[in-house]
């Protein structure tokens, strides 16, 4: 069976023919020669682009000269070029034809990728086949037609309508911690946030507290590359029900009647929140993106969404960067920032810090402590570090205290917020609660 590739000859001819009427169109056109399906039109379009780059006029005479004798025959002769030049009466519809050319190119690429997936699915590893396929399909979408003309009128109207709404003191997704929300105004949609800490300081516990708080009125999505879904739910139910983490290791043996009541209440409360957890090992960005996009479609614009990734350095990168870890992490960081913007979600990625922290007298993290920090630091809208003095000093006067250090804040102030930390439950609380 011969596979028929989708294309539209008339649209491609109208697209190329328009340049004979107005050669200036080439300067605002983003179609590449390889996006045209018809070979003779591809050759003609390449020659027109070449003429424009040289500053030569685009007409029948100059085009024949640029093509040369051999290519004139390949494109269908002087007669075809003359017919093409006179086939378009106006350039008014040029951008419509340009859009059609791009759409058909996307269709052909999608069909090609689908065929590759079908072929590889028969013999290759299915996980890799699907992951590679999603990667390639996303690449097509990333290069999709951009119809934004830069006009600001609609945005001005939207801005005015937004300013008429009373959003309250916290305009973003609240963290649940008074002073932190005062600094950030809540976590803003489309922001990419990094939370960094040394191992065992409490960054997963902190992220779970944030995710649970957001899931009460909004939606939280957790991608855990280190712990299973049940392990995370055990920790969440532990601090929700204020149950000692040591008891949670073996509830059958350690729970008393009161613990069972608190545990039951916690599970009941968790069954009512908008929380989603994905715990597949070896996740990559396309997998994360596909799950967030699906949930975004399900919830629509009704609920804001907080996405937590635990943690950044465990995400599988593109194999082409395997020899360069910094380039691999940079690519992941850029992709997560793009996802936050395009899907309009808050993305919080946890990050490990380098051992350089341990070598300084003051162990409070700074921006250069981020592993593979260059691109992460540039992409992030907000970078927060977690620091516990009692992590380093056993008899610390600041026992059961966590400093949240806002080291970078693109849209607001930096500063330090001190929280209480009940380590036995894995629960954080605002010290403002004790002061009120």
For the segment 10-26, what is each residue's pLDDT rounded down to a tens digit? Answer: 888 899 889 888 888 88
Predicted local confidence at residue 145, as pLDDT:
52
Q: What percent of the chain has pLDDT over 90?
A: 6
Spatial separation of the C-alpha atoms in residues 147 and 309, rounded to whole Å: 32
> Across 11-20, 273-282, 288-297, 426-435, which has the greatest mean pLDDT?
11-20
The CATH number given to whatever domain includes residue 297 is: 3.40.50.300
Q: Does residue 162 lie within any of the structural domains?
A: no
* pLDDT of 306 over the 90 cut: yes
The tens digit of pLDDT for each residue in 80-121 reads: 888 888 888 888 888 888 889 988 998 888 888 888 888 888
Residues 130 and 11 reside in one and the same domain: yes
Residues 25 and 173 reside in one and the same domain: no
* pLDDT of 223 over the 70 cut: yes
Residues 127 and 27 reside in one and the same domain: yes
Catalytic residue among 162, 226, 254, 433: 226
Residues 178 and 95 reside in one and the same domain: no
| Residues 195 and 348 sit within 8 Å (Cβ to Cβ) | yes
Confidence of residue 2 (pLDDT cuts 50, 70, 90): very low
Predicted local confidence at residue 307, as pLDDT:
94
Please indicate whether residue 226 is annotated as part of the active site: yes
3-state secondary structure 245-288: HHHHCCHHHHCCHHHHHHHHHHHHHHCCCCEEEECCCCCEHHHH
Confidence of residue 350 (pLDDT cuts 50, 70, 90): very high
Minimal CA–CA distance to 177: which of 435, 431, 434, 436? 431
Owner of token pair 């030569």: 56
Cβ neighbors of 388 (< 8 A, separation 6 or more) are: 201, 202, 398, 401, 402, 403, 421
Specify the range with the lowest mean pLDDT, choosing from 113-122, 323-332, 381-390: 323-332
Q: How many domains, the chain?
A: 2
Q: Does residue 160 lie within any of the structural domains?
A: no
Residues 119 and 205 reside in one and the same domain: no
* pLDDT of 431 over the 80 cut: no
Residues 138 and 191 reside in one and the same domain: no
Spatial separation of the C-alpha atoms in residues 367 and 372, rounded to whole Å: 11
Residues 130 and 194 reside in one and the same domain: no
Average pLDDT taken over every residue of the chain: 82
Q: Which domain holds residue 191?
A: 169-435
The dihedral of CA 86, 87, 89, 95: what is its sign?
negative
Give the length of the chain: 436
Q: Does residue 98 lie within any of the structural domains?
A: yes
The tens digit of pLDDT for each residue in 161-184 reads: 766 665 556 678 888 888 888 888
Q: Does residue 119 lie within any of the structural domains?
A: yes
Spatial separation of the C-alpha atoms in residues 389 and 93, rounded to whole Å: 67
Predicted local confidence at residue 3, as pLDDT:
55
Q: Does residue 163 lie within any of the structural domains?
A: no
**HSE (CB half, 13 Å, CA atoms) of 73?**
2
Residues 243 and 342 reside in one and the same domain: yes
Q: Is the backbone peptide bond immediately before 311 cis, with ω within 30 degrees of 0?
A: yes
Position with higher pLDDT, 371 vs 247:
247
Spatial separation of the C-alpha atoms in residues 358 and 391, rounded to whole Å: 11
Q: Does residue 159 lie within any of the structural domains?
A: no
Residues 193 and 242 reside in one and the same domain: yes
Q: Does residue 152 lie within any of the structural domains?
A: no
Q: Does residue 384 lie within any of the structural domains?
A: yes
The CATH number given to whatever domain includes residue 51 is: 1.10.860.10
Confidence of residue 362 (pLDDT cuts 50, 70, 90): confident
Residues 139 and 193 reside in one and the same domain: no
Minimal CA–CA distance to 328: which of 307, 314, 309? 314
Residues 209 and 88 reside in one and the same domain: no
Residues 137 and 10 reside in one and the same domain: yes
The tens digit of pLDDT for each residue in 186-208 reads: 888 889 999 988 888 888 888 99
């Amino acid at each position: 069976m011969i596979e028929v590739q989708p294309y539209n000859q008339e649209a491609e001819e109208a697209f190329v023919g328009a340049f004979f009427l107005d050669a200036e169109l080439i300067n605002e056109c983003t179609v590449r020669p390889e996006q045209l399906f018809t070979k003779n039109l591809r050759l003609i379009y390449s020659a027109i682009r070449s003429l424009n780059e040289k500053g030569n006029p685009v007409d029948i005479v100059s085009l024949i000269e640029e093509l040369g004798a051999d290519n004139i025959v390949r494109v269908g002769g002087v007669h075809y070029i003359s017919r093409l030049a006179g086939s378009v009466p106006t350039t008014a519809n040029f951008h419509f034809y340009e859009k059609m050319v791009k759409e058909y190119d996307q269709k052909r690429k999608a069909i090609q990728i689908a065929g590759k997936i079908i072929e590889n699915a028969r013999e290759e590893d299915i996980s890799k086949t699907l992951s590679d396929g999603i990667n390639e399909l996303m690449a097509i979408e990333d290069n999709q037609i951009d119809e934004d003309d830069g006009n600001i009128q609609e945005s001005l109207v939207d801005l005015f309508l937004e300013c008429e709404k009373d959003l309250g003191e916290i305009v973003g997704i609240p963290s649940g911690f008074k002073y932190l929300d005062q600094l950030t105004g809540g976590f803003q949609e489309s922001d990419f946030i990094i939370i960094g800490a040394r191992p065992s300081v409490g960054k997963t516990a902190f992220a779970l507290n944030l995710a649970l708080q957001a899931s009460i009125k909004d939606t939280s999505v957790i991608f855990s590359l280190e712990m299973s879904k049940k392990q995370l739910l055990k920790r969440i139910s532990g601090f929700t029900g204020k149950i000692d983490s040591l008891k949670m290791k073996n509830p059958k043996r350690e729970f008393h009647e009161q613990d069972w009541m608190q545990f039951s209440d916690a599970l009941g409360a968790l069954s009512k929140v908008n929380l989603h957890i994905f715990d597949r090992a070896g996740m990559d960005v396309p997998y994360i993106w596909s799950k967030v996009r699906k949930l975004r479609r399900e919830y629509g614009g009704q609920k804001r969404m907080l996405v937590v990734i635990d943690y950044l350095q465990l995400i599988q990168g593109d194999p082409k960067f395997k020899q360069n870890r910094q380039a691999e992490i940079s690519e992941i960081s850029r992709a997560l920032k793009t996802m936050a913007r395009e899907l309009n979600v808050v993305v919080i990625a946890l990050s490990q810090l380098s051992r350089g922290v341990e070598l300084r007298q003051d162990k409070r993290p700074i921006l250069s402590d981020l592993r593979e920090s260059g691109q992460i630091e540039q992409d992030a809208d907000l970078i927060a570090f977690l620091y516990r003095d009692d992590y380093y000093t056993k008899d610390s006067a600041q026992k059961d205290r966590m400093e949240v250090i806002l080291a970078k804040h693109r849209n607001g102030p930096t500063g330090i917020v001190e929280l209480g930390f009940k380590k036995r439950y894995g629960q954080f609380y605002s010290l403002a609660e004790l002061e009120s």
